[in-house]
Structures are given as structure tokens and as C-alpha cells.
Structure 1
Amino acid sequence: MKSTKSIRCFILLCLVLNPLLLQAAEPVVRLDGDRLTLQARDTRLSEILELLSDQGIRIRIDPRINPEITAAFKNRPIGAAMTSILKSVDYALIWRKEKASVAGEPRLWEIRIFYKGQEERARLLKKGVNLTVVSNGDGTYHVKDILLLRLAPTVTEAALAALLDQLGASILDAYAPLGIVRLRLPHGSDVPAIAETVAGYPGVQTAEPDHAYPLEGGRQTTRAAGSASPPPSPPPSAGATSVAVMDSGLRSDYENSPFVQAAYDAVSPGAEVGDELGHGTQMALIAAGAVNPLGAGSNTPAGSPVVAIRAFDDNGFTSTYTLMRGIDYAIENGSRVLSLSWGSETSSTLLASAVRYAADKGLILVAAAGNSPTGNPVYPAAYDNVIGVGALNPNGDAWDQSNFGDFVAVSAPGLADLPVGYKGDPGTYAGTSIATAYTARRVAAILNRNPDADRATILKILAEEN
């Protein structure tokens, strides 16, 4: 069987060498470490830079610069590549090592493009930051015109080329760990129907729309008279286990907080991380210990370092592929706990595979059971390798809107006074999302004491501590 690296190289080779896979409107732009592969004909520089930005590179450019580029090369050092396509302007490559990164070498972080002596005119590249989501009419959603395929390791270049030619599709990206490719279909495609048809093709293990999932944030409520807000927890100690909060992002006024280790926009890689909804900032504050839930008690753990990942767009949607990007970032930046304060009744084979991959990499995943007491399974909380969390009132009773069922492994305080609102004003909020972020911090505290603890051990300890 081919390794995931060879699968990735195979997909890249298909993109670069097979003309059937390259539509005139879809340039090939791939960055591997410090080497760039580019195939473009009469393509605006801005389009090439947007594709680089999608791969996690921040771009700053003088808005006056946008020539047409025609070039074809493979695995060229990024400096030589930029020199070859930027004939009459200057550029600078900025390298940086993420604070939470476990890798030893810095990575390319930003590209600046400007006229000589006018670097101050470079501006952050403006790009789309929201998913284009289509309702299926049954309460489920998918990203418009996007198809995800998991390919068999034995699939041939000719078979893939024939399939893409038949669909009129082009490869946008690939998730190498699982051999998944992300395809753009022709405008207005019936993606669910195409996925059902393609699933039976030789060499295709799984075909799915890029399922979209809405964010269900906490609800504003009234705090019981006489109940005081608990003080914040002590700040995280050096080397403490970090919690990756995969949510709606982090407000800019918190990005320099000492508990923030790193931040990443999985919806629009390369963009500055923000939080228009407020929910991600709420969850980061709870995971970090800057806010404690009402009724948390005397065994409240110390704060945790936080890796803030914007996985939900400004309309409150995420997708399977966006979540995969976020999982990769959490792993690469050394997080041991992944806090998922959201859920959907839509299950996805590919999302389940990504969750399993994250667990195999040592991440302990903690997810919300949901804020509607239906008893129906909610994903990702209901996957076997995830800790599903319900919510409690400050007095320890079950919150009346908390979901329930066999998939709910633990419950935790679910009300908190928050200085940031969710689509509204600061105040007291209630929800399984709060209980999830708090449980994620408790899990991190357990791993601080016992780094080798697995999910079963952690659940046992959580039960003993309640």
C-alpha cells in the first residue's frame, strides 16, 4: 500500500502533468515546505496569491500590482519562483516559527509584494471569508459545487483523469493523511446526486458533499439571585497541555492574551483570525480559565494554553473539509485536547475518519451534546472516540435544555457570566458548549498530571472528580 506521502505526491503529479486535470480557469498552485509548483496561463497574480493564501500563507501586496502570469514549473525554491514571476516588483518572504509548534524549523508565514521603496503600501490580501452553503431542504447542508473523494491507494492517474473529465471537475486541494481530494464541480451541480453516483466508481472509496454544519451557540439566561461568579483560575504554567478550541475564532482584542499560544483561520487560511459571532472567544476564555462556569466548585483546574482555530464562518457554518484543516493545525501545533463546542445530527463518513485520525494522533476530543433535549445522537459527540458533554445548572442538576443519550459521557457546569456575547451582548449564557470548553480544560489538567492517559482513563478520573 502506498504511504500518505506517496498518495499526496501522486495527486500533485496528476495535477501538474496531466492536461486533462487543468482547466484554463483553474491554475495549479501548490506549496510544499519552501518549494512551489505552479502551472498558470494568463492568470492574474491575485488569483495565484489567493490559492497560496488558502494553503496557510499570509499575503500582503500593493493593490496596484496584479499582472497576468504565465508559468509552468515544479518544486522550485520559493525565492527563485517568486523572482521568475515578479519581473518588475520587489518581494519579501517572512518566515516564522509558531509559538506552539513542535517542529524545529520555521515555516513561510507571509509574502509581501511591493514596488521598490514602497513597501508601506502593501495591504493584506482581501479574500472571501465565508462558505457558500446550500440547504438540502431536510435540515442538512453542503458547500456549493464541492465534492470530496477518498481515493483508493491503487487508483491510477488515467482513472482519475477520466473521472474528472467526465465530471468537468478540477482538483482544488488534497488532505494527504486520508487520501482525500477536494473537487470543484461545474456551477450549480447537484452535489448529493453526483456523490451517490461517483461512490460506485472503481478507485473511489468514499464520495460525499462537503457537508456543512451550523453553529448552535449558548442562550442568554438569567443568573439565579445570590449566585456569585467564581474568580478566574490561575494562569497556565509553562509547558501545560494546550487546548485547541475549534469554533468561530478569537476576537482581536484577545489575540495577545498570555494564554493564547497560536491562532489559525481554517475557513480562510492565511487570513487574520477574528470572531464576528463571539462564540469562539467565549469558549477560548473558558478553556483558558479566564472565565469559570457558575457552580464550578473548588476543584476548578488551572488555566490552559489555547490554540484558537476559526472553523465557523461569519454566518455560523463550518464544513467537513474545513474541520480537517483545523484538526491538522491542532496536531501540528502540539495540542493534546480538541474542544468542539457544537454539534449536528448530520453524520459524515469522512468526518468520522478525520476524527479517528485525530484520536490516533493522540488528541482527546471533547464535544457538545447539543442544546435540544431530543435524545438524538449529535456528531461529533456521538462518535466512539469523542467525549460527549452535557450541561448542568449551578446547583448540580441537569440543565433542562441539555441533550441526553448513551453518547453523553460526562456532564459539567453549563452556565457562565461572559464578557463577550454570542450574536449579542455580554451576560449570562447557558449551553452544552460552555460545559464542553470547561471539560476540555479539565481533561488538559489530567494530561498535565498523566500525559499517557487515554480516553477511558480520563473518563474514569472525570467521574471520580465529580
Structure 2
Amino acid sequence: MKNRIVIQILMFFLSLFLLFILVGCMQNEDIKSDTVPWGQEFVGYDTRVAENKVKIAVVDSGIDSNHPDLTGKVKQSYNALTQSNIIKDEIGHGTSVAGIITANYDGKGIVGVSQNVELIDVKVLDETGKSQIDNVIAGLEWVLEQNPDVINISFGFDKDFAPLRDIINRISEKDITILAAAGNNIGRQIQYPAEYDNVISVGSLNEKKKEDILNPTGDIDILAPGINIYTTALNEDYHTVRGSSFATAYISGILANAITNSGVSKHDSLKNKINYLQDTLEYR
């Protein structure tokens, strides 16, 4: 008799335990479980989506639009190397940049800085990560016709090319914000087009708000997370990256949120945009 009572008591508590687990699982189904990298925590991220999305052109190595965290993000594409809309990102650089800006908030993978973004994918870098200046110019000429809100250029040249300066000037005249990586050139000058006055140059910092030793010398407009950055990679994967390329992507995401929430207007002066960024990031 005693044994039967003990068994009944044990069965009762076992049933409660199983019910507790079941309820917990049901509750967790609705919880967003995206990994939030330190950079997103640092700059702030917004999961809201507005009626009018911010158009950001990522001029880079291409974007793997089939990555689960980038599904539905790329709305337009242009391959300046082949003059077509067929793009393959062989090196993953553009894919990593895109993930920082706007990786999907879907309960998996990571979350990007802004959800209110439409990406324009412009491939100008080849399978080695390099590009001819003519391809960059062609890509930027095409981008100008699409009239984006922001252009993200996460690479640069050591030399000032007159045709590059010309297209940057024409883009700037349309109130399109151009962001460019300052470079990872320790002891050297800021690369072009980041060095131009009508471009916002971006350098990187670490989790302790210390400037990256790889940043070039010179007057960099803004610093953003660029060390130990976890983001999207090729083959539906994720990896950790470093450099001003990825810091630039953070600034693109911040500007997207600012435009969405009326913190800044596309037509604000470059100085006002830089002041907004500095006020936002100095330094959380």
C-alpha cells in the first residue's frame, strides 16, 4: 500500500515537471532568439519596419542573397564586372557587410542594425577582393541612376583618381549620403573615396571604445565597431571579422534608422549627418 502511494506521488510530480517543460517550450516559440553581436548592442538596433524603407547600395564583392539572414533584402542588383544583374559573392565581404546592416530579425542567426532597409547589390570587387577603377566608376554610375538614400563603400584606393572624384561629386549633389571605409592602413593616409570632403569616412573601434590600431592616420569623421564582429558569411554561415569595412556597415545601419525615425533627413547637410552620428556614438 505504501509503495503504491509513493509511486502515485512520484507520478504526480513527474506530470508537473513534464507540464512545466511543455509550457516553457510553447512560450519560447514566440521569443526572438537572434544573436545580438556586441556591435549591435553598442550602436543600438531597431527591429521595426516602416512603410517606406531606406535604400542602401552596398558597392562591394556582391551579396549572397540566398543566405537565410539576408532573404528578401536585396531588391536590385548590378554586376559591374559583367554588366549584368547576375551576382556571385566569391569572397563573402559584401555578404558580411550586408549582415551587419540588416540581417533578418527572424529568431535565427543574428539581427542587423536596421530592419527597415532595401539593399541594392552592386558588385565591383572580383574573386580576389580587388577591382579596377573603371569597374568601380561603372558601378557608381549605375547606382546614381537608382537614387539610393545611402551608398556603402567598404573598400578604397591609395590613389586619388579624377574619375572617382567626379562621380562622387555628382552623387553628392543628389543628396545621397556616401559612407566609405577609412582603411586598415596603420601609419598611412586615409584611402579614397573616404578622404574626400563629401564622403563620411569611417574607422573602427573595439568593445572598450578604443580606436583600432589599424586605422590610418588623418581626420576620420566617425568611429564604429570594427573588431571582433560576428556577421553573415558564405554558405549560410557566420564568422568573425575585423576592419573599417565593417565599421562602415554599422554607420549605414545607424543612418537607416535615423532616416526612418526622422532623426536626420536625406537632404540634411553632410555636416549635420556627421554631427548626428557623433552625438549618437560619442561614445555609448
Once residues 266 and 64 of structure 2 are traced to their aligned partners in structure 1, the CA distance between those partners, rounded to angstroms, is 31
Give the structure-2-normalised TM-score: 0.73
The 5 A counterparts of 1:65-464 are: 233-234=46-47, 236-254=49-67, 257-290=71-104, 301-406=114-219, 408-415=220-227, 416-420=229-233, 426-448=238-260, 449=262, 450-464=265-279
1:253 aligned counterpart, secondary structure = coil
Quickly say closer, same or farther: Cα 1:272–1:383, change in 2 above 3 A: same
1:329: how far off? 2.5
- Amino acid of the structure 2 residue aligned with 1:387: I
Once residues 464 and 277 of structure 1 are traced to their aligned partners in structure 2, the CA distance between those partners, rounded to angstroms, is 34
Work out the percentage of aligned pairs sharing the same amino acid.
Answer: 25
Once residues 395 and 432 of structure 1 are traced to their aligned partners in structure 2, the CA distance between those partners, rounded to angstroms, is 16
- Amino acid of the structure 1 residue aligned with 2:251: T
- Amino acid of the structure 1 residue aligned with 2:248: T
Which consecutive residues of structure 2, in runs of 5 or more, have no partner in the other structure?
A: 1-36, 106-112
> Are the counterparts in 1 of residues 200 and 221 from structure 2 also a CA contact under 8 Å?
yes
**Structure 1 ranges of 4+ moved more than 6 A:** none
2:245 aligned counterpart, secondary structure = helix
Once residues 333 and 254 of structure 1 are traced to their aligned partners in structure 2, the CA distance between those partners, rounded to angstroms, is 24
Quickly say closer, same or farther: Cα 1:281–1:246, change in 2 above 3 A: same
Q: How many residues are matched?
A: 229
Which consecutive residues of structure 1, in runs of 5 or more, have no partner in the other structure?
A: 1-226, 292-299
> Are the counterparts in 1 of residues 102 and 114 from structure 2 also a CA contact under 8 Å?
no
> Are the counterparts in 2 of residues 369 and 403 from structure 1 also a CA contact under 8 Å?
yes
1:317: how far off? 1.9
**2:108 matched residue in structure 1:** none
> Are the counterparts in 1 of residues 67 and 234 from structure 2 also a CA contact under 8 Å?
no
Query: What is the RMSD computed on CA atoms of the aligned residues?
Result: 2.5
> Are the counterparts in 2 of residues 236 and 305 from structure 1 also a CA contact under 8 Å?
no
2:185 aligned counterpart, secondary structure = coil
Greater relative contact order, per chain length (Cα 8 Å cut-off, separation 6+): 2
> Are the counterparts in 1 of residues 149 and 266 from structure 2 also a CA contact under 8 Å?
no
Once residues 96 and 256 of structure 2 are traced to their aligned partners in structure 1, the CA distance between those partners, rounded to angstroms, is 18
Quickly say closer, same or farther: Cα 1:320–1:390, change in 2 above 3 A: same
1:330: how far off? 2.0
Once residues 78 and 148 of structure 2 are traced to their aligned partners in structure 1, the CA distance between those partners, rounded to angstroms, is 13
Quickly say closer, same or farther: Cα 1:252–1:303, change in 2 above 3 A: closer
Greater strand content: 1
Quickly say closer, same or farther: Cα 1:238–1:397, change in 2 above 3 A: same
Once residues 347 and 376 of structure 1 are traced to their aligned partners in structure 2, the CA distance between those partners, rounded to angstroms, is 12
Greater helix content: 2
Q: Deviations over 1:203-254 (max 9, x none)?
A: xxxxxxxxxxxxxxxxxxxxxxxx8685874264331221100000012523
